[in-house]
């Protein structure tokens, strides 16, 4: 059995010397400092195992390429020989090394406090160990919704560590919706000034760049979404001239108004200047086409331009939107309605299938050569779906071109979620999705999955995340109760019951 002393273990990197590795080493040591409750009760080597001291973790990275893209190689190997004091990690690039360190962290179990002081000793069971690992799907995402409830910046940043623990590599940031527009665009500040819940409940360019930077250090891409033409009521607060009149200014945006496309160009130019990823989510879901049918001005315009239906107007809008996205050099992702309505799409458009496990749409889209992302299996706001439902979804179980399935994402829509319950609503249910997207449909991975999810949840709790339990039991490190201050409580003697 290997033993690691938390205070003396060395982590050395060969072939790469970047802030990414420096940050990873810092996180690794920080996690070893989090001890379980009642750590002094743990006996030293209670089973009298033969102990092999592990003194050094070597990380060997063969490439100096640090660009984070969709197709980045995330594979790695871990080797621990029976009589060696070394753990050897090898990867092509730094991002594979990040996941190797996460896996190594899962192999480390708290053993005891050493007899000479309070230094933590961790154990690695069943050595020798040889691991060759890589993800089945390249796109493993989590959608967060900052419109229906504003999420504090420090929560978004903390969640990046939770995502890394789960090997989730895409943050899909649904920034705006009908409820609020917290995205502060420097060239159009009035959108957030009038569209946010509060002047301080906004994300500045500096805030967004910090999220992107911290995500990058963890191998996480940040993909923005400003949903259009529907889900845009918050825009009406500052730009009613862009809205359809049915009969009052409201969403969806008016596709017959040339100002709308100037507005979209400005939006996507700002997105391009702030967000570095090649992908951008352009929305397109739940558009109220009946509004366009009930607007006299829009119907008149449609007749003048020989457009026979509101679907034709949607086609006009999406065609111009995708042209704008293409000109700013981004790859668009659309919600599945845009495909289901048979609108004209660019060849690079990716279809986000969100209406359940819609195998027909996945099959039809891939047969036509479109890449797809599945999200319909993993809606975190559906509280009747537990981790077992999430794990049971095999995204490749459709009769199309499975090679065009990029992966999937879980969606934490924010109607009933804010900082008070964000983490517990997501984890560990999303952990089941994350494992499925990493391992695919390997039968051996399905063995003991309940215990594995429960153990992983406890690891998250020990690292400070209030992940909800999946059933009866306990963790070695429980979530502390955050009570109000004692002085703020109402003394029981002052309470009187009225009978």
pLDDT digits (tens, 9 = 90+) for 108-147: 999 999 877 678 999 999 999 999 999 999 999 999 999 9
Whether residue 484 contacts residue 498, with contact meaning beta carbons closer than 8 Å, is answered with no
CA pair distance 348, 335, nearest whole angstrom: 14
Indicate whether 411 and 341 sit together in one domain: yes
Closest CA to 338 of 266, 399, 282: 282
The DSSP H or E segment spanning 59 is strand 56-61
Which residues pair with residue 252 across a beta bridge?
Answer: none
Closest CA to 366 of 331, 343, 397, 400: 400
What is the per-residue pLDDT for 425? 98
Indicate whether 129 and 233 sit together in one domain: no
CA pair distance 480, 420, nearest whole angstrom: 14
Domain that holds residue 102: 2-133
Number of domains, the chain: 2
Please identify, among 74, 98, 133, the residue that sits at the C-terminal boundary of a domain: 133
Is residue 476, in this structure, part of any structural domain at all?
Answer: no
The domain that contains 39 carries what CATH number? 3.30.379.10
Indicate whether 36 and 128 sit together in one domain: yes
Indicate whether 224 and 144 sit together in one domain: yes
Q: Cα 30 to the chain's mean position, in Å?
A: 22
Please identify, among 104, 133, 162, the residue that sits at the C-terminal boundary of a domain: 133
Indicate whether 303 and 439 sit together in one domain: yes
Indicate whether 244 and 359 sit together in one domain: yes
Residue 407, by phi and psi: left (phi above 0), alpha (psi -120 to 50) or beta? Answer: left
Q: What is the pLDDT along the chain (499 residues), one digit of tens a residue?
A: 999 999 999 999 998 768 999 999 999 999 999 989 889 899 999 989 999 999 999 999 999 999 999 999 999 999 999 889 999 999 999 999 999 999 999 999 999 998 776 789 999 999 999 999 999 999 999 999 999 999 999 999 999 999 999 999 999 999 999 999 999 999 999 999 999 999 999 999 999 999 999 999 999 999 999 999 999 999 999 999 999 998 888 899 999 999 999 999 999 999 999 999 999 999 999 999 999 999 999 999 999 999 999 999 999 999 999 999 999 999 999 999 999 999 999 999 999 999 999 999 999 999 999 999 999 999 999 999 999 999 999 999 999 999 999 999 999 999 999 999 999 999 999 999 999 999 998 766 677 899 999 999 999 999 999 999 999 999 998 888 876 555 555 554 444 544 4
286 assigned to active site: yes
What is the per-residue pLDDT for 247? 83
Whether residue 381 contacts residue 411, with contact meaning beta carbons closer than 8 Å, is answered with yes
CA pair distance 256, 316, nearest whole angstrom: 9
Residue written as token pair 């458009």: 349
Whether residue 68 contacts residue 219, with contact meaning beta carbons closer than 8 Å, is answered with yes
What is the per-residue pLDDT for 487? 53
Q: Is 451 helix (H, G, I), strand (E, B) or coil?
A: helix
Q: Of the listed 82, 186, 286, 323, which one is catalytic?
A: 286
């Amino acid at each position: 059995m290997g033993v690691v002393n938390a205070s003396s273990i060395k982590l050395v990197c060969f072939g790469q010397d970047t802030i990414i590795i420096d940050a990873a080493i810092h996180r690794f040591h920080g996690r070893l400092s989090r001890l379980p409750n009642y750590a002094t009760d743990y006996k030293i080597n209670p089973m009298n195992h033969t102990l092999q001291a592990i003194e050094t973790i070597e990380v060997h990275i063969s490439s100096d390429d640090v660009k984070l893209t969709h197709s980045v190689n995330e594979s790695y190997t871990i080797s621990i020989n029976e009589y060696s004091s070394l753990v050897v990690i090898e990867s092509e690039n730094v991002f594979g090394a990040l996941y190797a360190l996460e896996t190594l962290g899962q192999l480390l179990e708290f053993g005891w406090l050493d007899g000479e002081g309070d230094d933590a000793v961790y154990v690695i069971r069943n050595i020798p160990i040889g691991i060759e690992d890589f993800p089945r799907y390249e796109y493993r995402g989590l959608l967060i919704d900052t419109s229906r409830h504003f999420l504090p910046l420090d929560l978004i940043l903390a969640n990046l560590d939770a995502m890394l623990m789960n090997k989730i590599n895409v943050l899909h940031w649904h920034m705006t919706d009908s409820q609020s527009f917290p995205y502060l665009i420097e060239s159009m500040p009035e959108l957030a000034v009038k569209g946010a819940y509060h002047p301080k409940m906004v994300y500045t360019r500096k805030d967004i760049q910090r999220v992107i930077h911290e995500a990058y250090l963890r191998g996480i891409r940040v993909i923005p979404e400003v949903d259009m033409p529907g889900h845009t009521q918050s825009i009406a607060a500052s730009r009613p001239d862009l809205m359809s009149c049915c009969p009052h200014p409201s969403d969806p945006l008016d596709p017959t108004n040339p100002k709308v496309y100037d507005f979209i160009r400005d939006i996507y130019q700002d997105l391009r200047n702030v967000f570095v990823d090649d992908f951008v989510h352009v929305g397109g879901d739940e558009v109220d086409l009946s509004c366009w049918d009930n607007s006299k001005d829009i119907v008149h315009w449609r007749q003048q331009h020989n457009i026979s239906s509101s679907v034709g107007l949607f086609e006009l809008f999406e065609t111009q939107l995708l042209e704008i996205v293409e000109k700013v050099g981004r790859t668009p992702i659309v919600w599945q309605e845009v495909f289901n309505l048979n609108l004209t799409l660019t060849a690079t458009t990716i279809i986000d299938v969100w209406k359940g496990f819609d195998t027909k749409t996945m099959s039809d889209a891939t047969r036509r050569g479109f890449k797809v992302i599945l999200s319909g299996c993993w809606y975190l706001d559906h509280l009747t779906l537990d981790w077992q439902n999430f794990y049971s979804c095999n995204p490749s179980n459709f009769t199309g071109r499975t090679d065009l399935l990029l992966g999937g994402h879980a969606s934490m829509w924010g109607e009933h979620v804010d900082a008070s319950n964000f983490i517990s609503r997501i984890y560990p249910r999303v952990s089941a999705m994350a494992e499925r997207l990493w391992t695919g449909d390997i039968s051996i991975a399905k063995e003991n999955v309940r215990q594995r999810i429960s153990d992983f949840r406890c690891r998250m709790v020990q690292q400070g995340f209030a992940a909800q339990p999946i059933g009866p039991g306990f963790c070695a490190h429980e979530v502390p109760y955050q009570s109000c201050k004692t002085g703020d409580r109402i003394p029981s003697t002052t309470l009187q019951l009225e009978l």
